[in-house]
A and B are shown apart, each in its own frame.
Chain A
Amino acid sequence: EAGVAQSPRYKIIEKRQSVAFWCNPISGHATLYWYQQILGQGPKLLIQFQNNGVVDDSQLPKDRFSAERLKGVDSTLKIQPAKLEDSAVYLCASSLWPRTEGFNYGYTFGSGTRLTVV
């Protein structure tokens, strides 16, 4: 089974520039997540999609971050304009949903995009 694909692996930009990340989830996974992981911290959920609809974007800084999942498959996350504090690894994950009673579905992460804002 192919895993969650993300690109690019690394990105270095100057503050105030724009950047976009791409994610292709595991085939058949209806739910897609974008997480931000700052060095030394656990992943923080930015946005959760169910098919092409947004389930939760309460922690997405909407003044500069946007995400979309057209056709319920691939997703892009954009930052415009970037700030120094956006330096982090951006992880995409996907999972089967809804949860089957009695079985806990975890989810699978992509390898992430490491963003450095200078």
Chain B
Amino acid sequence: RKEVEQDPGPFNVPEGATVAFNCTYSNSASQSFFWYRQDCRKEPKLLMSVYSSGNEDGRFTAQLNRASQYISLLIRDSKLSDSATYLCVVNPRNQFYFGTGTSLTVIP
């Protein structure tokens, strides 16, 4: 079983829409969780960490559900500039595992 699984999409949404991505992980001992954003032909960049209590950064909200072993990312009021691949990252045993990424295209 993979350490991290994501729906690869693609998600095509209109501007202003709300979109949510989920990511499941297999190791219940995982301690740290992150969402990264990767633009085409660029390196991944940290979007936000995910805390147990949930956290918000502007239009982005990340949540962690330890019981069901998944993390989520909610993007409200989507902008054209949000078009990218979103990677979830899970950290069990001092190692970082990436999901395959979810592709998002925001359409005018």
* A90–chain B nearest beta-carbon distance, Å: 11
Given contacts A41-B100, A45-B97, contact A99 B32 (CB under 8 A): yes
Mark out the residues of chain A between 74 and 118 whose CB falls within 8 Å of any chain B CB in the assembled complex.
Answer: 91, 97, 99, 104-112
Chain B, interface residues (CB within 8 Å), range: 20 to 34
CA distance A44 to B31 in the complex (A): 19
CB <8 Å contact, B98 and A43: yes
Any B CB within 8 A of the CB of A24? no
CA distance A43 to B100 in the complex (A): 8
Given contacts A42-B87, A42-B100, A104-B33, contact A110 B43 (CB under 8 A): yes
Any B CB within 8 A of the CB of A55? yes
CB <8 Å contact, B94 and A104: no
Q: B46, B51, B94, B95: which contacts A106 (Cβ < 8 A)?
A: B46
CA distance A40 to B91 in the complex (A): 22
CA distance A114 to B100 in the complex (A): 18
CB <8 Å contact, B43 and A106: no
CB <8 Å contact, B43 and A104: no
CB <8 Å contact, B32 and A109: no
Any A CB within 8 A of the CB of B50? yes
CB <8 Å contact, B43 and A91: yes
CB <8 Å contact, B49 and A106: yes
Any B CB within 8 A of the CB of A21? no
CA distance A107 to B91 in the complex (A): 12
CB <8 Å contact, A99 and B44: no
**Can you list 30 A-B contacts with CB-CB less than 8 angstroms, sorted by A residue number?**
A33-B96, A41-B100, A41-B101, A42-B4, A42-B6, A42-B99, A42-B101, A43-B44, A45-B95, A45-B97, A48-B94, A56-B94, A56-B95, A91-B43, A91-B44, A99-B31, A104-B32, A104-B33, A104-B49, A104-B50, A104-B51, A104-B91, A105-B32, A106-B34, A106-B46, A106-B89, A108-B46, A109-B43, A109-B44, A109-B45
Instruction: Pick the 5 closest A-B CB pairs, nearest first.
Output: A42-B98, A104-B49, A106-B46, A109-B43, A104-B32
